[in-house]
Amino acid sequence: MLAMCVLSAVEALKADGLEGEVVVVDNSDADFHEGVKASLQGQTKYKKLRLIHQENPSIALATDTAHREATGDLLFYMDAHCLIGAGTLGHMVDFFQRHENDPIGFLHAPIQWAHMSETTRQTHFCVERTQLGEFSGSKPVTQERKVTWKGMPHMIRRSVFLDMNGLGCCAEHKLSWGIMRYFGMKPWLYGYENWAIPDGVVYHFGEWPESAKKFTNYRTYSTSGCETAGTAMGVAAYVYGGERFFRQEWDVGGISKYLHDYDKALANVKRIGGVEREWLLANQKVSLEELFANKPWDS
CA quadruple 33, 39, 41, 44: dihedral sign? negative
The mean pLDDT value for 240-259 works out to 88
Predicted pLDDT of residue 50: 92
Q: Is the pLDDT reported for residue 42 higher than 80?
A: yes
What are the structural domain ranges in the chain?
Answer: 2-204, 228-289
Highest mean pLDDT: which range of 43-57, 132-146, 175-189, 239-253:
239-253
CA angle 232/233/239 to nearest 5° reads 90
CB-based contact 261:250 (threshold 8 Å): no
Among the listed ranges 114-118, 121-125, 196-200, 241-245, which one has the minimum average pLDDT value?
121-125
Predicted pLDDT of residue 1: 83
CB-based contact 105:199 (threshold 8 Å): no
Predicted pLDDT of residue 136: 47
CB-based contact 121:47 (threshold 8 Å): no
CB-based contact 1:7 (threshold 8 Å): no
Give dist(CA 94, CA 298) in Å, integer.
24
Q: Which of 158, 139, 159 is nearest to 150 (CA)?
A: 139
CATH number listed for the domain at residues 2-204:
3.90.550.10
Q: Which residue has the higher pLDDT, 210 or 257?
A: 257
Q: Is the pLDDT reported for residue 226 higher than 70?
A: no
The mean pLDDT value for 41-70 works out to 85
Predicted pLDDT of residue 228: 67
Q: What is the pTM of this model?
A: 0.85
Torsion of CA 68, 195, 232, 63, to 10 degrees: -20
Longest dimension (CA), the chain: 54
Give dist(CA 116, CA 128) in Å, integer.
15
Q: Could you give the count of Cα atoms lying within 13 Å of 130 in the half-sphere of its Cβ? A: 20
Predicted pLDDT of residue 247: 95
Residue 193 pLDDT level (bands cut at 50, 70, 90)? very high
Predicted pLDDT of residue 117: 59
Residues in the chain, total: 299
